[in-house]
Structure 1
Amino acid sequence: MSGQAQNVDVLEGQPVLGRALGDDAELRPLEPWQAAEFAGYVNRTRDALKPWIPWAYTIVDEASARAFLQSYADRQAADTGRIFGLYVSGVMQGGVLYRVFNTAQGVCEIGVWLAPEVRGRGLISRACRVLIDWAVDARGMTRVEWQCDPRNASSIAAARRLGLTHEGTHRKAFYLNGEHRDVQVWAIVA
């Protein structure tokens, strides 16, 4: 185990591994058994997520949340992706993930989402710093990417705070809610 502290907590009788982020915040792996909690989070924050996150449209109940989390459990087993919840005072308030994790190429992509009521506390920056450091230091990634809609000012600000460089914009590269959207690509290299 690395020198980074791991906390062991109990949630509904099940052990949970997590990483303290300070200010009563914690980063925890999300797994299919947490589908009801994840579906509840999506339902509670759907309006804030829908402008930017495709799964805000498709996760509508516990079954769809379980399928989504199972897809990430399968990705984790294949070493091609991972998903984590951001908890504040024990309540899920957002999350981060490796949407892409390609060890052969040494490239991964981080995605994020956060409930409006906890924005502005540095949670995304702290959680992403953990993901970036682990990807580069523990797994040898040479490139960590961040992609976002150019209209998502919060995502762009987070990328800048993390020290990522805007490398370009793919025009009309992403389809969401009946609209072809541009996608900015940000990255940091080891």
Structure 2
Amino acid sequence: MFKHIIEDHLDIRILELRHAEQLFDLVSCNQDYLAEWLPWVKGNNTIDHTKGFIEAALQKFANNDGIDCGVFFNDRIAGCISLHRLDWLNKKTSIGYWLDESLQGKGIMTKACRAMINYSFHDLQLNRIEIRAGVNNLKSRTIPERLGFDLEGTIRKAEWVNNRYIHHVVYGLLKEDWKNE
């Protein structure tokens, strides 16, 4: 299965059913924090929901239509990073991610995103990557800004999250502009 070592104690791995309990526990511990920006969190209230997500993610990977990975820090799942959908016709994708609140500020997700960008541009030969974030989700927005994405615009009322609409900012990065810092 897919595994990419980023550095000592940090790697990304495709999610497998054996990760379900650990992933469910992590989401449960971070539920209030994550629910502010992610609409699926409140519906993830049993281990079966998590298993269903992983099974669907494995099918998506088998169909060559995306990849959902765990971000592992010190061999424990710390969050997730995904290529949502692979648009092979237009050679583009989008990246989504979340991280355990207690591990933020250590550069973990920036490094995981850098690895996923390299994989997308070099291994998959894609040409464009987008990252979308809530306008007020400043922690999430710093990652594409740090990695050299261009702020391309705002989509108003893009998503219903936590009983309200949130606007999304859209960041884009082209293969020709990627400096792999």
TM-score, normalization by structure 2: 0.91
Higher-RCO chain (CA-CA 8 Å, sequence separation at least 6) = 2
Q: Is the 8 A contact 1:166 1:184 kept in 2?
A: yes
Q: In the alignment, does 2:160 pair up with 1:178?
A: no
Q: Deviations over 1:95-132 (max 9, x none)?
A: 10111221121110000101111111111111111111
**Which residue in 2 is equivalent to 1:75?**
60
Stretch of structure 1 that moved more, 144-153 or 169-178: 169-178
Report the Cα distance in structure 2 between the residues aligned to 1:57 and 1:23, rounded to whole angstroms.
Answer: 33
Aligned length: 175
**Bigger strand fraction:** 1
**Ranges in structure 1 where 5+ consecutive residues have no aligned partner:** 1-15
Q: Is the 8 A contact 1:21 1:123 kept in 2?
A: no
Shift in alpha-carbon separation, 1:98–1:17, aligned structure 2, 3 A:
closer
Shift in alpha-carbon separation, 1:90–1:64, aligned structure 2, 3 A:
same
**Which residue in 2 is equivalent to 1:29?**
14
**Among 93, 109, 121, the residue aligned to 2:94:** 109
Q: In the alignment, does 2:166 pair up with 1:142?
A: no
Report the Cα distance in structure 2 between the residues aligned to 1:132 and 1:117, rounded to whole angstroms.
Answer: 24
TM-score, normalization by structure 1: 0.87
**Which residue in 1 is equivalent to 2:26?**
41
Q: Is the 8 A contact 1:17 1:29 kept in 2?
A: yes
**Among 138, 143, 165, the residue aligned to 2:150:** 165
CA RMSD of aligned residues (A): 1.4
Q: Is the 8 A contact 2:35 2:41 kept in 1?
A: yes
**Ranges in structure 2 where 5+ consecutive residues have no aligned partner:** 176-181
**Which residue in 2 is equivalent to 1:128?**
113
1:80-95 matches, within 5 Å, as 80-95=65-80
Tell me by how many angstroms 1:17 deviates: 5.5
**Which residue in 2 is equivalent to 1:8?**
none
Tell me by how many angstroms 1:32 deviates: 2.8
Post-superposition, which runs of at least 4 consecutive aligned residues in structure 1 deviate over 6 A?
none
Q: Is the 8 A contact 1:21 1:27 kept in 2?
A: yes
